[in-house]
Amino acid sequence: MEYFFQYIFSGIATIVTGTVAIAIYFHQKRNNKIQAARVLLTEIRTAEEQIGVIREKIITGDTSDMPNSVFQTNNWKKYAHLFVSNFDQDDLKLINSFYDYGELIEEFAKRESNYFWIATEERARITVQMIARFVDEEFHKIPQERDTNNIELKKQFFNVGMDNHNTPYSPKKTLKGIENRLSKIQTITTSSTGAKLKKLAKLDK
């Protein structure tokens, strides 16, 4: 009889231990999903803001200091598997396309930024060369024919005039690429998908 009770007690202890372990597992899994949802929301909000800045610069034509980053990281690739059971196909398609188009916009924006700085550096190089040439030409003249005012005027033109009258080169294909993706990307945070994500993150109240 004593052996019987020991057997029963051992069985109950095993069941309790297993139940506790399972409860802890699901609790941790739930917390992991909440944290992942919050990370994704933060990342998506930041990306939407950056995309908004890029869109505004495209509209105004001021692409000189366009943001060249949309995503710091792509956490959707890391956490997508956690939300397969929470989102339907339309939700998953929306999020996937947001990240896909966002990364393409980022790539084109980086190219645009690179073109701007390459053009700026080239103009600076040419300016220095031209000023050096003007100075050299003046100092090769006899003292009576030198005109330092002429040098200053030319320096002023190259330092200021070129900035006022020249537009940095940028291939149309790059801007068209950005415009094309901007027309296709959809906002997530204000959509039904965003509402689901906020609920999963416990931020819907």
Q: Which DSSP state fits 81?
A: G
Residues of the chain with pLDDT under 70: 1-31, 113-132, 134-173, 204-205
What's the pLDDT score for residue 27? 42
Query: Rounded CA gap, 105 and 49, in Å?
Result: 13
Q: Which DSSP state fits 158?
A: I
**Domain segments of the chain as ranges:** 2-200
Q: Is 76 exposed, middle or buried (0-12, 13-18, 19+ CB in 10 A)?
A: buried
Answer whether 194's CB lies under 8 Å from 37's CB. Answer: no
What's the pLDDT score for residue 26? 46
What's the pLDDT score for residue 157? 64
pLDDT digits (tens, 9 = 90+) for 7-55: 555 556 565 555 544 544 444 555 689 999 999 999 999 999 999 999 9
The residue assigned the tokens 């053009």 is 119
Amino acid sitting at position 163: D
The residue assigned the tokens 């007690």 is 9
